[in-house]
Amino acid sequence: MYWEPDFECMAREELEQLQLERLQATLNRVYAHVPFYRKAFDAAGIAPEDIRSLSDLAKLPFTAKDDLRENYPYGLFAVPLREVVRIHASSGTTGSATVVGYTRNDIKTWSNCVGRILTMGGAGKEDVIQIAFGYGLFTGGFGLHYGAERIGASVIPVSSGNTARQIKIMRDFKSTALVSTPSYAMLIADTIRDMGIPRAELSLKYGFFGGEPWSERMRQEIQEKLGIVATDNYGLSEVMGPGVAGECLERNGQHFNEDHFFVEVIDPATLAPVAPGETGELVITTLTKEAFPMIRYRTRDLTRLLPDGCPCGRTGRRMARISGRTDEMLIIRGVNVYPSQIEAVLFEMEGIEPHYQIVVDRKGAMDEVTVRVEVSESIFFDQMRRQKEMVEKIQKRIAHELGISADVKLVERKSLERFEGKATRVIDNRKL
Ligand code: DLL
């Protein structure tokens, strides 16, 4: 099932022509209406009319999160506020918020983009979609809400939090699809289990999870516990919100909505494009956004593009799961470490629950890493010897895979914090 097959299944050549036309229109618009871009293009000695092919785009400078902050709140808007019908913002963990805006047309495009993702993950007008993302300045709640309404589903805008109520609603209202962060889905699944609610009392069939990184292992667990088909979907407020890319039922990479977004993958150190299929930083240029166009936005998300051709028939390029963020990289005694690498080691082990926390401290001049990980009850209450063996096994694997030594602490099930929105799994005390 497709939502907009003419675009989702467009032949590559035709798609690239459309991208080029839309790119040129976008560049003209930002040059005329956004002083930041005009200055940046002028400094690079490039005028919009110099961009005659998609590869010419590489001549233009990148845009980064700091550029958004420096232009807080409305400096990068390309239309007057009277044209703007919606404003969202991301709080971020540092500095001031970044503010984004949408025209009426942008909201329409956004709804269709999200509509495509819901459709490709199995949902339709018969579905009852429970949206457990926060409604507010975060783009997750409203973004999914409008997309779900667009496809004609029955939408339950429950928002995030109050897990017992989520479950009551899910059961009583017969929700067939759950929309949330993967970590919240996991918490909901575990709570259902703890409450002893039989799976047969729920009508759930699909889960649409995004907003944060998760692993294949987590997908398997959520699918199994909730008895659903779970797909991954990706987006970021700076370029729209959810709806940038999503998985079809093949569950093998996320299709970009390429008629609306032009994607590049670059080496974050050299800024040159990576070889096809290599991992690098995702860079996105919006092709249709009116209020808040973005040119070559450095997402800081790491991924790789997958080879063309998906059995679902969509031609939109796919990317592999986001494997980390450039700004999440920890430098431990000079070694670059991504939390996702530690997660991968943990999840290889039998008896490990998908909950962990990485704590980094500095003792004198030394960085110290402690990995706290929940283990199944049988291990936690087992003899010391088995626990010790497990700790040593994890330490060895971390040393072998990542080249760092880490302290490993096994903790009891449910002792680490749970999250109703995006999970925070790294606590870096060195910055404090
Ligand atoms: O999280 C938009 C969104 C909401 C996407 C709901 C999907 C579902 P921001 O709050 O601006 O926007 O955060 C964007 O979250 O740069 C990624 O680092 C991360 N992220 C989003 N989706 C995924 C995903 C929304 N599927 C930032 N996998 C992005 C991994 C993701 N990371």
Taking CA atoms only, the protein residue closest to ligand 1 atom 13 is: 236
Element (H, E) at 379: helix 377-380
| 206 close to ligand 1 (CB < 6 Angstrom) | no
Same domain, 289 and 395: no
* Residue from 133, 127, 171 nearest 148 by CA: 127
Amino acid at 34: V
Pocket mutation for ligand 1, best pick of 255, 319, 322, 419 (most atoms within 8 Å of C-beta): 322
| 225 CA → ligand 1 middle, Å | 24
Are 259 and 25 contacting, i.e. CB atoms less than 8 angstroms apart? no
Domain tally for the chain?
2
pLDDT tens-place string over residues 24-66: 999 999 999 999 999 999 999 999 999 999 999 999 999 999 9
CATH code of the domain containing 255:
3.40.50.12780
| 364 CA → ligand 1 middle, Å | 36
Same domain, 279 and 357: no
Amino acid at 429: N
* Domain termination residue (choose one: 275, 290, 325): 325
Same domain, 40 and 132: yes
pLDDT tens-place string over residues 102-144: 999 999 999 999 999 999 999 999 999 999 999 999 999 999 9
Pocket mutation for ligand 1, best pick of 68, 99, 133, 234 (most atoms within 8 Å of C-beta): 234
Same domain, 160 and 272: yes
Three-state DSSP state, 56: helix
Same domain, 215 and 317: yes
Which segments in the chain show pLDDT lower than 70? 92-95, 431-432
Same domain, 288 and 418: no
Same domain, 201 and 149: yes
Taking CA atoms only, the protein residue closest to ligand 1 atom 9 is: 236
Amino acid at 409: K
Index of the ligand 1 atom closest to the CA of residue 241: 2
Res 377: pLDDT: 86
Range of the domain at 348: 329-428
* Residue from 133, 134, 65 nearest 97 by CA: 65
Instruction: Work out the burial of residue 58: count CB atoms within 10 Å of its CB; fewer than 13 is exposed, 13-18 middle, 19 or more buried.
Output: middle
Same domain, 286 and 345: no
| 140 close to ligand 1 (CB < 6 Angstrom) | yes
Taking CA atoms only, the protein residue closest to ligand 1 atom 28 is: 213
Res 423: pLDDT: 94
| 233 close to ligand 1 (CB < 6 Angstrom) | yes
* Domain termination residue (choose one: 304, 325, 346): 325
| 325 close to ligand 1 (CB < 6 Angstrom) | yes
Index of the ligand 1 atom closest to the CA of residue 325: 18
* Domain termination residue (choose one: 308, 325, 342): 325
Same domain, 139 and 215: yes
Same domain, 278 and 144: yes
Index of the ligand 1 atom closest to the CA of residue 245: 26
Average pLDDT, the chain: 96
| 194 CA → ligand 1 middle, Å | 29
Res 411: pLDDT: 95
CATH code of the domain containing 347:
3.30.300.30
Index of the ligand 1 atom closest to the CA of residue 237: 11
Taking CA atoms only, the protein residue closest to ligand 1 atom 14 is: 236
Three-state DSSP state, 157: coil
Long-range contacts of 62-66 (CB under 8 A, 24+ apart): 62/271, 62/283, 62/296, 62/297, 62/298, 63/294, 63/295, 63/296, 63/297, 63/298, 64/297, 64/298, 65/92, 65/98, 65/238, 65/298, 65/300
Same domain, 66 and 203: yes
Taking CA atoms only, the protein residue closest to ligand 1 atom 22 is: 211
Element (H, E) at 398: helix 384-402
Same domain, 357 and 316: no
Measure CA of the first residue to CA of the last residue in the chain; give whole Å: 50
Q: d(Cα 200, Cα 127) in Å, to the nearest integer?
A: 17
Res 94: pLDDT: 57
| 303 close to ligand 1 (CB < 6 Angstrom) | no
Which phi and psi angles does 200 have, rounded to 5°?
Answer: -65, -20
Res 432: pLDDT: 57
Long-range contacts of 236-239 (CB under 8 A, 24+ apart): 236/299, 236/301, 237/88, 237/89, 237/90, 237/98, 237/100, 237/138, 237/139, 238/65, 238/68, 238/90, 238/98, 238/100, 238/294, 238/297, 238/299, 239/284, 239/286, 239/289, 239/294, 239/297, 239/299
Index of the ligand 1 atom closest to the CA of residue 300: 16
Index of the ligand 1 atom closest to the CA of residue 133: 6
